[in-house]
Amino acid sequence: MSDSPEKPFGEPSDEAAGADHARQVGRTDDIVAQMQETIEKLVADDASRGDMKILSRTLRELRYAFKVFAQYRERRKVTVFGSARTPPEAPAYQQAADFGEAMAAHDWFVLTGAAAGIMEAGHVGAGRENSMGLNIMLPFEQSSNTVIEGDHKLVHMKYFFTRKLMFVKECDALVCLPGGFGTLDEALEVLTLLQTGKRNVAPVVLLDAPGGGYWKALDSFIQEHMLQGGMISPEDLSLYKVTESCEEAVNECLHFYSVYHSMRYVRDRLVFRLNQPLSAELLAAVNEHFADILTEGCFDQRGPLKHESDEPDLAHLTRLVFTFNRRDLGRLRQLVDCLNNGRITP
Per-residue pLDDT of the chain (346 residues; tens, 9 = 90+): 556 665 433 333 444 434 444 445 568 899 999 999 999 999 999 999 999 999 999 999 999 999 999 999 999 999 999 999 999 999 999 999 999 999 999 999 999 999 999 999 999 999 999 999 999 988 775 689 999 999 999 999 999 999 999 999 999 999 999 999 999 999 999 999 999 999 999 999 999 999 999 999 999 999 999 999 999 999 999 999 999 999 999 999 999 999 999 999 999 999 999 999 999 999 999 999 999 999 999 999 999 999 999 999 999 999 999 999 999 999 999 999 999 999 987 6
In the prediction, which pLDDT does 11 show? Answer: 39
> What is the rounded distance in angstroms from the CA atom of residue 319 to the CA atom of residue 246?
32
The pLDDT of residue 4 is 61
Specify the pLDDT at position 16: 40
| pLDDT value at residue 8 | 35
Is the pTM here over 0.85, yes or no?
A: yes
Question: What is the pLDDT, as a whole number, of residue 344?
Answer: 83
* pLDDT for 18: 44
Per-residue pLDDT, 272: 99
Residues counted in the chain: 346
Q: What is the model's pLDDT at position 13?
A: 41
**CB of 130 closer than 8 Å to CB of 110:** yes
Distance (Å) of CA 182 to CA 131, 164, 177, 186, 187: 21, 11, 12, 6, 9
Using only C-alpha atoms, what is the Rg of the chain?
21
Among 117, 123, 116, 121, residue whose Cα is nearest residue 94? 121
